[in-house]
Structure 1
Amino acid sequence: MTTYPEYDIARSATCPLDPAPAMRARQEEGPLTRVRLWDGSTSWLVTGHAAHRAVLGHPDVSVEPARGIPRLSPAEAAAMESMAAAAEEGSAGLGFIMMDDPEHARLRRMVTSAFTVKRVEAMRPATQRIADDLIDAMLAGPKPADLVEAFALPLPSLVISNLLGVPYDEHEFFQGNSKTIINRNSTPEERGQAQYRLAVYLDGLIGEKLDNPGDDLLSGLVERIKAGELSRPEAARMGVLMLFAGHETTANMIALGTLALLQHPDQLELVRDGDPRLVTSAVEELLRYLTITHGGLRRVALADIEIAGQTIKAGEGIVVVNETANRDPAVFPDPDRLDVQRDARRQVAFGFGVHQCLGQPLARMELQVAYTTLLRRVPTLALAAGVDQIPFKHDGFVYGAYELPVAW
């Protein structure tokens, strides 16, 4: 009987910004290997860049929980069972990201226009004002400061609140529930309750906008409801997804990207100079280098498919690892080196295929504004604690830092 290595995403305490050593070891064995999960079952593990794109772009690969995607922990298994049951009832907690086409495409198309490059660029001046106001407040406050609390978390939270039409006064409510959803240690009941609270809240906002629509994304969904194209529960779930995804991931990238640049002062100086083309390149490189979605993207094969010279049979689970694909030396020479002048446009931090991140133009713009403004406005920015003292989010589906103490 074949014995497969255990699926292990634990990062090294001495290299917290690098992929898990066990994932790197699997990558050295080949782009497609097998691993043993917590319950004794096995899954295909995709660690290579080309295989990553091949799987996520394949029409016979599903993301739906009810079809049997891998469960990576006991808590997740229970949560997936409840999500699969909810999907059958038409009330999937995280909406279209857990659906296959054509339903996924139908719902996603309703919000795509809000995240086009042209629309996002129109938001840049307002995002710049938010960044400057937050830095003004941080500089006027005590030192050291927690960059997460003072800057990295409120910036994308304010931006997505304005885009959706969600009062920022409620940020502690939606940030707290978002943390529960992405924490690996949350029980299915805790995660389900957090999703429910957010859904009820968004449903209430949609109800208000049915009577008094504004110029925001939720009001746009209200028009879809009135036209009979979207149900009110569907609109609420879409609002939850965009509110949750629109601040949590970008906040972690702002904090970890700043940490990475502080650890590489030569690269930091290049970004501080503010050349727009280099800043664009730097954001792509930081996305590649850090890859904060580090739990693996779960899929299941609906038919026998050929990937990297091997056959994944119908019904077999697949775990696609973003962070190793982004450190694949076949695509990114010397992949463990941070080089903001590298052409990293093939990075897959946002995934690939039909389910790649809807909000990536917005995230890119926010990161460009955040890094350049912070480094320009606070030229003496420095860590106020050793890296070994920073509390990293090893327990989250989205990697980051709970706190990042800085001084100037």
Structure 2
Amino acid sequence: MAEPVHTVNALPTARRPGCPFDPPEELIRAREHGPISRYTFPGGKPGWLITGYDLVRSVLADPRFSSRKELMRHPYVDIGDAEIPPAPPGEFLLMDEPQHGRYRKPLVGKFTVRRMRLLTERVEQITAEHLDAMEQAGPPTDLVTAFAKPIPTVVICELLGVPYRDRGSFQEQAVTIFSGDADAEDQLAAYIAIREYIARLVAAKRADPTDDVLGDLFDSDLTDEELTGVGLLLLAAGLDTTANMLALGTFALLSNPAQLAALRADPSLTDKAVEELLRYLSVAKTFMRTALEDVELGGRTIEAGTTVILSYNTANRDPERFTDPHTLDLGRQEGGHLAFGHGIHQCLGQQLARVEMRAALPALLTRFPTLRLAVPAEEVGLRPEVADVFGVKSLPVTWDA
């Protein structure tokens, strides 16, 4: 007889007071009961919640589990029997093969480790410019608006080939889309404006190709509508996650003085520090897959058509995979976190994110050796758990001028 399985009736929407970097307590408890739990979607539809590292990784590599948007349930909203439309052109993160590969293959060569490393000098320059502005303005400041958001926004503008004359409005609209405070109407208006702008940008580049990621894609068979969708996906993937890693990563370091001191004392720890922050924070915290057929998983049968929720943040805190997983340890020897996913959908821009974090975080800590929170840690505003990407709304910091 199979052991009883733990049940989670709703995804938790709050983290423990004083523990902003840990997954919600109910998810941690679910993992303690085992790597897989029954889950009840809003409206009562049955599903599964996977919290263990090995099972999350196996689902991500298993073609019997689909990424198609139209097959998914919604983790927080009761959609009833409403028909979900397929992913729009270009949003290949929510597609299966062969459609997924048709979009991804032309992009792979644009995000190689070598090409991203060539960007390091430019990222360092962009970082220095924003640190100069911070220093000139003086303390205190909101690190989100002064540092964490503008750096990846400028980088993505350059990758997409947004002309300098348009960057002010483009950056403003992009920040609004991913703001934790903007209302839904403003976010929708900003999304429509950016989509229309990228469509015009693609058309202009089609007529007069440029040396950037979008310009490089005109030798593929992707249509202008598809390239517009790709541009939007690159914007979403390359801006919001990295911005929140920079802000939340700084918050985590400032909240762990011993680890911060170790990094200041030994800059050679930077690469390990970046990987550990990615594991520890897991800002892209959950993804979903739907079984295309009956699948045996962790001693349970996942029936065809059932959606499973993959909890990246508990997988990256799995004690069977990581020693003392709830501790931030910049010298950690264990690698292999799932912050960028796994399998064919593994994050295409992961090397770019690493380049930005490796350049920006040490530069910030070097420029401002007395950097510290300007408010008590418990007063730092967190993005709601229902947001796709976890992070801070703002991060008030100060330093000795």
Q: Same fold (TM over 0.5)?
A: yes
| Residue 144 in structure 1 maps to residue 140 in structure 2 | yes
Closer/same/farther in 2, CA of residues 192 and 81 from structure 1, 3 Å limit: farther
What code does the residue aligned with 1:135 have? L
Please identify, of 213-222 and 313-322, the stretch whose mean Cα deviation from structure 2 is larger: 213-222
Find 1:7's aligned residue among 10, 16, 25.
Answer: 10
Please report how far the alpha carbon of residue 106 of structure 1 lies from its aligned counterpart in structure 2 after TM superposition: 1.3
Alpha-carbon offset, residue 71 of structure 1:
1.1
Q: In structure 2, what residue type is equivalent to 1:45? A: L
SS of aligned partner of 1:111: helix
1:383 corresponds to: 373
Cα root mean square deviation, aligned:
2.2
Superposed CA offset, 1:175-212 (max 9, x none): 212448x99x84xx887665443322111001111222
Question: CA distance change for structure 1 residues 147 and 344 in 2, over 3 Å: closer, same or farther?
Answer: farther
1:263 corresponds in structure 2 to 255
| CA apart distance, 1:309 | 2.1
The code of the aligned residue for 2:73 comes to P
The answer to whether the Cα contact below 8 Å between 1:261 and 1:268 also exists between their aligned partners in 2 is: yes
Letter in 2 for 1:173: Q
Matched, 1:38 2:42: yes
Task: Tell me if structure 1 keeps the 8 A contact 2:174–2:190.
Answer: no
Choose from 79, 99, 105 the match for 1:103.
99
From 287, 291, 297, give the equivalent of 2:287. Answer: 297
Superposed counterparts of 1:8-407, under 5 Å = 8-9=11-12, 10-67=14-71, 69-74=72-77, 77=79, 84-87=84-87, 91-92=88-89, 95-167=91-163, 168-169=167-168, 170-179=170-179, 186=184, 195-224=191-220, 229-276=221-268, 278-294=269-285, 296-394=286-384, 395-407=386-398
Q: In 1, Cα distance between the equivalents of 2:201 and 2:101?
A: 25
1:8 offset after TM fit, Å? 2.4
Per-residue deviation, 1:367: 0.6
| Contact kept in structure 1, 2:69 and 2:86, CA below 8 Å | no
CA distance in 2, matches of 1:206, 1:275: 41
**In structure 2, the residue corresponding to 1:14 is in which secondary structure?**
coil
User: Does the CA contact (< 8 Å) of 1:288 and 1:344 recur in 2?
Assistant: no
SS of structure 2 residue aligned to 1:208: helix
Distance, in Å, in 1 between the alignment partners of 2:312 and 2:326 is 14
Deviations 1:286-328 (A, max 9, x none): 011111112x211100011122222212111100000000000
Q: TM-score, normalised by structure 1?
A: 0.90
TM-superposed deviation, 1:30: 0.6
Distance 1:312 1:383 in 2: 46
- Whole-angstrom distance in 2 between the partners of 1:191 and 1:157: 17
Q: Could you tell me which amino acid in structure 2 is paired with residue 236 of structure 1?
A: T
What is the distance in 2 between the residues matched to 1:293 and 1:340?
A: 20
Decide which moves more: 254-263 or 308-317.
308-317
8 Å contact kept, 2:276–2:332: yes
Shift of the 179–99 alpha-carbon distance from structure 1 to 2, 3 Å rule, reads farther
The answer (yes or no) to whether the contact 1:274–1:372 under 8 Å persists in 2 is no
3-state DSSP of counterpart to 1:74 = coil
Matches of 1:372 and 1:173 in 2, distance apart?
29
> In the alignment, is the contact (CA less than 8 A) between 1:152 and 1:255 conserved in 2?
yes
CA distance in 2, matches of 1:123, 1:332: 32
Contact 1:285–1:344 (CA under 8 A) maintained in structure 2: no
Sort the Cα spacing of 1:131 and 1:398 in 2 relative to 1 into closer, same or farther, 3 A.
Answer: same
Give the AA of the match of 1:5: V
Shift of 1:65: 2.0
Q: Does the CA-based 8 Å contact 1:70-1:319 persist in structure 2?
A: no
Which amino acid counterpart does residue 227 of structure 2 have in structure 1?
A: A
Shift of 1:222: 3.0
Task: Give me the TM-score of the superposition, normalised by structure 2.
Answer: 0.91
1:124-146 deviation line (CA, Å, top 9, x unaligned):
00100111111111011142100
Note the residue ranges of structure 2 that are not aligned, 5 or more in a row: none
Query: How has the CA–CA distance of structure 1 residues 326 and 143 changed in structure 2, closer, same or farther, with 3 Å as cutoff?
Result: same
The answer to whether the 8 Å contact 2:161/2:214 transfers is yes
- 1 CA distance for matches of 2:224 and 2:361? 38
Identity %: 38
How far apart are residue 13 of structure 1 and its match? 2.5
Deviation, 1:249, is 0.5
Question: Which amino acid is the alignment partner of residue 200 of structure 2?
Answer: G
Q: CA offset at residue 262 of structure 1?
A: 0.8
Aligned length: 389
Alpha-carbon deviation of 1:104?
0.2
